[in-house]
Amino acid sequence: MRALLIANPKATSTSRRVRDIMVRSFAGDLDLEIEETTHRGHATELGRRAAQERLDIVVTLGGDGTINEVINGLLATGPSAETPALAVLPGGSANVFARSLGLSNNSIGALGPILDALRAGRYRTVGLGRADERYFTFCAGVGWDAEVVRAVEQRRGTGSRANPTLYVRTALRQFISGTDRRRPAITLERAGRPPLRGLFLAIVSNTSPWTYLGPRPVNPTPDADINLGLDVFGLRRLDLVPTLGVVAQIMLPLSGPIRGRHVVNVHDTAEVTVRARRPIAFQLDGDYIGEREVITFRAVPKAIRIVI
């Protein structure tokens, strides 16, 4: 089988040694070409090329951002039975998508199950989310959480290492002195339903959990399922005490939606539009995209085959 390994050498837990182990491990099963990414968007270009050349499998070695880019390249012309299957070797700091598939949090631990699936010809077809023209694997966000992602990326650009401590510190700093906690800007719109107005943030999930702080899942949408539509979590207030209560629920291993007077939950929706009164921060799969005023999210069932 013809395959392409796309490795992000800057991913948190990726190294040349790990990459070489992966290459040797696949040598007896795949006719493998290796490419390392050199700039933002490069993995998308490589994924698009793999789809155009009708390769059998694309292997990613990197974090959630690398996976997101590759998928958007593979699906540049939409889902198809001829799209190469995807094998995910986690190499980032959180590896949310890989863990949502039941894989280990590191590439060495995930390698065995992927090789077993590859040799058995075992695949799983999963759904994705789509924000306007861009696919996402596990989550998107507008408002406070996207502001945190933006600030973390800025810190990483100055040499800070991505880890749970950096995210927690940045979230607290953004909550206290960064985000606008007085003027809610976001409205959720769904066909045939009254709009949900006055939100400070909205998290759109394709899987559960939303992210991880080390080994601990952070789960604002515990009912989200990769085989269903999208789930949405929103907050109408960002006062300190109510927000702490919501955060406590999100960090606990609870079943069912998060509760609270100012909490908004939407489960298994095929489409939702986020409309903001002013340009507002927007992230996809943990990568900051920019500021938007209108974004339409859609569930895309059976979008891509995963080797698992």
DSSP at 120: H
Whether 276 is in a domain gets the answer yes
Residue 127 within a domain = no
Distance CA 217, CA 211 (A): 6
d(Cα 265, Cα 96) in Å, to the nearest integer?
Answer: 21
Secondary structure (3-state) at 36: strand
Give how far Cα 64 sits from Cα of 21, 283, 285, Å. 21, 12, 6
Which two tokens mark 74? 């593979």
Residue type, 298: R
Q: Is residue 240 part of a domain?
A: yes
Residues of the chain with pLDDT under 50: none
156 plus 264 within the same structural domain: yes
- CA count, 13 A, side-chain hemisphere, 235: 26
Number of domains making up the chain = 2
CA 105 – CA 271 distance, rounded (Å): 31
Please report, for the domain that includes residue 63, its CATH number.
3.40.50.10330
Question: Are residues 98 and 214 located together in one domain of the fold?
Answer: no
Q: Is residue 174 part of a domain?
A: yes
Q: Please check whether residues 100 and 205 belong to one and the same domain.
A: no
**Per-residue pLDDT reduced to its tens digit, 178-205:** 999 999 999 999 999 999 999 999 999 9
Contact present, 305 and 124 (Cβ < 8 Å): yes
Q: Quick one: 100 and 165 in the same domain?
A: no
Peptide bond preceding 209: is omega within 30 degrees of 0, i.e. cis?
A: yes
Domain boundary among 94, 121, 148: 121
Q: Are residues 81 and 203 in the same domain?
A: no
Is 196 in the same domain as 81? no
Q: Are residues 283 and 144 in the same domain?
A: yes
- Same domain? 155 vs 205: yes
Give 83-108 pLDDT, tens digit per residue.
Answer: 999 999 999 989 999 999 999 999 99
Kindly state the tokens that stand for 206.
């394709």
- Are 109 and 203 in the same domain? no
Nearest-CA neighbor of 32 among 41, 42, 21, 40?
21
| DSSP assignment letter at 84 | P
178 with 232, same domain: the answer is: yes
Encoded tokens for 17: 């040694």
Q: Kindly state whether residues 108 and 203 are assigned to the same domain.
A: no
Domain that holds residue 290: 139-301
Query: In 3D, which of 304, 286, 308 has the Cα closest to residue 11?
Result: 286
Q: Which pLDDT score, from 0 to 100, does residue 164 have?
A: 85
52 lies in a domain?
A: yes
In a domain, 307, yes or no: no
Note whether 90 and 110 are within 8 A (CB): yes
Domain-terminating residue out of 92, 121, 150: 121
Q: Are 284 and 68 in contact (CB under 8 A)?
A: yes
* Contacts by 111-118, CB closer than 8 A, 24 or more apart: 111/21, 111/22, 111/25, 113/308, 114/87, 114/88, 114/89, 114/307, 114/308, 115/25, 115/26, 115/29, 117/307, 117/308, 118/29, 118/30, 118/57, 118/87, 118/307
In a domain, 306, yes or no: no
- Among residues 121, 149, 168, the one where a domain terminates is 121
Closest by CA position to 68, among listed 301, 283, 268: 283
Q: Take residue 211 and report the two structure tokens written for it.
A: 């992210």
